[in-house]
């Protein structure tokens, strides 16, 4: 049982790493404070769907990681 949980934990960690790396960075920097942005409404809404899916995937993978880690602690 511990081996199966270890393998699942490693797979989930890799999924979490991939989803975090696929997310785009907020490279607005200090320009966001002054309101200077090159994004239009349409570019924001287009990127929102993919960004929202990646953020949700990261949250789900993190939740599964926590649950698997607790199960590993209980099983061992």
Domain-by-domain residue ranges, the chain? 2-22+40-75
Give the confidence band of 68 by pLDDT, cuts at 50, 70, 90: very high
Cβ atoms of 68 and 8 within 8 Å: the answer is yes
Q: How many CB atoms lie within 10 A of CB 61?
A: 20
Assess whether pLDDT exceeds 60 at residue 14. Answer: yes
Residue 29 vs residues 7, 32, 33, 35, 40: alpha-carbon distances, Å: 39, 6, 8, 11, 17
Residues 19-66: tens digit of each pLDDT: 999 988 766 555 556 665 555 556 566 556 888 899 999 999 999 999
State residue 47's pLDDT score: 57
State residue 27's pLDDT score: 64
């Amino acid at each position: 049982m511990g081996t199966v949980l270890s393998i699942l934990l490693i797979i989930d960690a890799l999924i979490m790493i991939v989803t975090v790396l696929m997310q785009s960075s907020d490279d607005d920097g200090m320009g966001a404070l002054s309101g200077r942005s090159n994004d239009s409404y349409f570019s924001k809404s287009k990127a929102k769907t993919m960004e929202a899916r990646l953020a949700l995937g990261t949250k789900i993978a993190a939740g599964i990681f926590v649950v698997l880690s607790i199960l590993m602690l209980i099983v061992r």
